[in-house]
A and B are shown apart, each in its own frame.
Chain A
């Protein structure tokens, strides 16, 4: 082959690899709509108030018809064994990320952000069960429902309680007001008023997922 042809060939390879590498990682996705009226539902878990009664777990499973032995949310006991009197509970559930990896990776758009509520939720019929969302979730809070064989997450009871105008099941069930639910885009909402005066944190914020769940850590007891 002539030198010219070879040069062309190599040029082609170089150019092509450039196009490929740029194209493959160009992922900017699933940003919620930002107009003023849109919702940004969020939840606060207050570790100072949770006693670990698990009423929320039971209510959640019942309202959302989660199969036995599976959970959309649970309360994990993270009490330090050395300090058994300082009880520390943590809510484990979908963090409702603004930059949700599950929405980004779902190949069939089954895992999506709802148009009206901006909540990350599932369309079980479109789910093919590839489990990509489950391995993509940095919090490991997604699972395959044994009955529907579709992936599932806590969607703030979007298609059950919320649709009926009620608060999510866990909020209804909690006797201690340890969880607060509301719209961050509503200046006057209770959740915003609490966030203004209390220090809260988010799980693994360094991953850039912008989770919507806020946690108020327990303060040290006594002085």
Chain B
């Protein structure tokens, strides 16, 4: 900043990538996270029938990524030219790589949705039984590939913005990891809600216990990554130190301390650990904390995007 000569005017002011991108990042995270959790749980349980968790995971995985596309395309300045991205691939661009990943992932989630709801679909669309017969033997392979693409989808959203050298808060190697972990956290919460609310999963079933168990290591990893991110800035160079102000400024302090720390860390800890069995076993409290976690993950994406783009070099 004290160089011999510089300029400080820019041609694009303020936050260029706003809340629709944050919403997309959240939805992609939920989709990937829910997919990963349902596939891994199903695998280790050696599940034969489709459990409520499998149904919830497949439904969320498919619907959220499809809905995310609406935000992604809608945020373009020329949304009607979206097809250009599909014919002019630039393999040096994370966005192009992401688009390729998405165009594999969405059909995969659709097939996963078909597997999970095979009985229900065939009840109404009997003529699809030949598709079912064709797809059934492929299920383990499709699950395996989907698992990988779910991780790629979560991670690529991190790489997408971590290549932006102008913004120290974004340009860090931690971001993809943070997005995978927070995606798992939001996916976990969403799966739990949908499985118990719509697929009549028992609140104390084996699957729900698994979800509750993995909640904590995921949260600890998330806290660690956020902490590392903050430390990497505060001990960094002049630009990075400047970007650290994001955590303490009035503008973004509330978003971070209230949204990220409060909603996604403190509320689950208070209601599930500190207030004892009565609250932690209540259905209403479960929904409340799960929704709070999802809102917290959205706040994390908002904070990263908005604060990140505010504190440039």
Q: Show the binding face of A for B, using Cβ within 8 Å.
A: 1, 9, 12, 16-17, 20, 24-25, 27-30, 47, 70-71, 74, 76, 78, 90-92, 101, 103-110, 126-132, 134-144, 149-150, 201, 203-204, 207, 215, 217
Contacts and interface: CB of A to CB of B under 8 A. Distances in A.
Contacts of B3: 201
B78 A109 contact: no
Contacts of A9: 43
Nearest to A136: B164
A109 B201 CA distance: 48
A127 B151 CA distance: 29
Contacts, number: 149
B5 A90 contact: yes
A56 B76 CA distance: 32
Contact of A143 (B12, B84, B97, B163): B12
Q: Secondary structure at chain A's binding surface: helix, strand, loop or mixed?
A: loop
Contacts of A131: 12, 16-17, 77
B78 A127 contact: yes
Contacts of B12: 131, 134, 140, 142-144
Q: Secondary structure at chain B's binding surface: helix, strand, loop or mixed?
A: loop
Given A20-B155, A107-B85, A137-B166, A203 B78 contact: no
Nearest to A78: B7
B95 interface: yes
B159 interface: yes
A18 to B, nearest CB: 12
Nearest to B4: A217
Contact of A135 (B151, B155, B164): B164
**Which 6 pairs from chain A and chain B are nearest by CB?**
A129-B77, A140-B10, A29-B92, A107-B95, A143-B11, A129-B78
A15 B235 CA distance: 33
A140 B166 contact: yes
